[in-house]
Amino acid sequence: MPERTRTVSERAKAMLVITVAALVLATAYSAALGGNGWLWFAWVVLGLATLGLVAAREK
C-alpha cells in the first residue's frame, strides 16, 4: 500500500496559497465592513507560520 504523505515543499506551497487567500479575504472584509484588529492579527500569525514553514523547507 503506497504511503500518502506530502513533502514539506508541497505543504509550504499549500500554506502559501492559504495565506494569500486569507490576505485577499481580510482585505475584502476590511474594505466592505471596516478594519478589524483581530482579523489582521490572525493573518499576521498565519503569515509568520507560513514563513517558518518555507524557511524550514530551505534548510
- DSSP conformation letters of 28-46: HHHHHH---HHHHHHHHHH
Confidence of residue 5 (pLDDT cuts 50, 70, 90): low
Confidence of residue 4 (pLDDT cuts 50, 70, 90): low
DSSP state of 34: -
Percentage of the chain modeled with pLDDT above 70? 83
Place of cell 524557511: 55
d(CA 38, CA 41): 5
- 8 pLDDT higher than 80: no
DSSP E strands in the chain: the ranges are: none
d(CA 43, CA 59): 25
Rg (alpha carbons) of the chain, rounded to whole number? 15
* Model pLDDT, residue 58: 63
